[in-house]
Structure 1
Amino acid sequence: MMSTESEHGADERGWLKQSSNVSMEEVNSSVRVPHKAGFWRKLLAFAGPGSLVAVGYVDPGNWATSIAGGARFGYTLLSVILLSNLVAILLQSLSSKLGIVTGRDLAQATRDATGKKTAFCLWILTELAIIATDLAEVIGSAIALHLLFGIPLLLGITITTLDVLLLLYLQKKSFRLIESIVIVLMFTIFVIFVFEVIVSKPEITALFGGYVPQKEIVTNPQMLFISLGILGATVMPHNLYLHSSIVQTRQYQRTRDGKKEAIKFSLIDSTFSLTVAFLINSAILILGAAAFYGTNLHVSEIEAAYELLSPTLGVGIASTLFAVALLASGQNATITGTMSGQIVMEGFIHLRISPWLRRLITRLLAVVPAFIVTWLAGSKGTGELLLWSQVVLSLALPFAVIPLVLFTSDKKKMGEFANRLPVKIVAWLCTVVIVILNIFLIGYIIVTGQDLG
Structure 2
Amino acid sequence: MPQDSQAPAPPLSAQKAAWRFAKTTEAGSQSLPESFASIKLPAANTSWFKRFLAFVGPGYMVSVGYMDPGNWATDLQGGAQFGYTLLAVIMLSNLMAILLQALSVRLGIATGRDLAQACRDHFPPVINIVLWLACELAIIACDLAEVIGTAVALQLLFGIPLLGGTIISVLDAFLVLFLMNRGFRYLEAFVIVLLSIIAICFGVQIVAAAPPVAEVLKGFIPSPEIMTNSHMLYIAIGIIGATVMPHNLYLHSSIVQTRAFEHTVSGRREAIRWATWDSSIALVLALFINAAILIVAASAFHTTGHQNVAEIEDAYRLLSPVLGLGIASTLFAVALLAAGTNSTVTGTLAGQIIMEGFLRLKIPHWLQRLLTRGLAIIPVIVVTALYGNKGVGELLMLSQVILSMQLPFAVIPLILFVSDRQKMGELVISRKTTIFAWGMAALILVLNFKLLYDTIL
Specify the TM-score bucket, using the shorter chain as the normaliser: over 0.9
- Provide the residue aligned with 1:450 in structure 2: none
1:378 is aligned, of 382, 388, 392, to 388
Separation in 1 of the partners of 2:21 and 2:330? Answer: 55
Matches within 5 A, 1:132-211: 132-211=141-220
- Provide the residue aligned with 2:367 in structure 1: 357
Separation in 2 of the partners of 1:144 and 1:203? Answer: 29
Instruction: Give the AA of the match of 2:279.
Output: S
2:278 is aligned, of 263, 266, 269, to 269
Aligned residues: 438
- Provide the residue aligned with 2:6 in structure 1: none
Matches within 5 A, 1:22-421: 22-36=30-44, 37-297=46-306, 298-421=308-431
Structure 2 SS opposite 1:17: coil
RMSD of equivalent CA atoms:
1.3
Structure 2 SS opposite 1:332: helix
> Alpha-carbon deviation of 1:18?
2.6
Instruction: Give the AA of the match of 1:136.
Output: A
Deviates further, 112-121 or 250-259: 112-121
Deviations 1:164-223 (A, max 9, x none): 111111100011001001001101100110110110111111100000001111111111
Aligned: 1:16 with 2:49: no
Separation in 1 of the partners of 2:285 and 2:329? Answer: 22
Structure 2 SS opposite 1:445: helix
Deviations 1:38-61 (A, max 9, x none): 201111111000000000000000
Instruction: Give the AA of the match of 2:36.
Output: N
Separation in 1 of the partners of 2:21 and 2:426? Answer: 12
Q: Which runs of 4+ in 1 moved over 6 A?
A: none
Q: Is the 8 A contact 1:14 1:413 kept in 2?
A: no
2:445 is aligned, of 424, 435, 438, to 435
Cα 1:100–1:12 shift into 2, 3 Å = closer
Deviations 1:61-88 (A, max 9, x none): 0000001000000000000000110110
Separation in 2 of the partners of 1:44 and 1:382? Answer: 41
Q: Is the 8 A contact 2:21 2:111 kept in 1?
A: no
Q: Is the 8 A contact 2:64 2:343 kept in 1?
A: yes
Instruction: Give the AA of the match of 2:167.
Output: T
- Provide the residue aligned with 1:4 in structure 2: none
Cα 1:314–1:404 shift into 2, 3 Å = same
Instruction: Give the AA of the match of 1:289.
Output: A
Instruction: Give the AA of the match of 1:27.
Output: S
Structure 2 SS opposite 1:16: coil
What TM-score, normalized by structure 1, do the two folds share? 0.95
Q: Is the 8 A contact 2:317 2:329 kept in 1?
A: yes
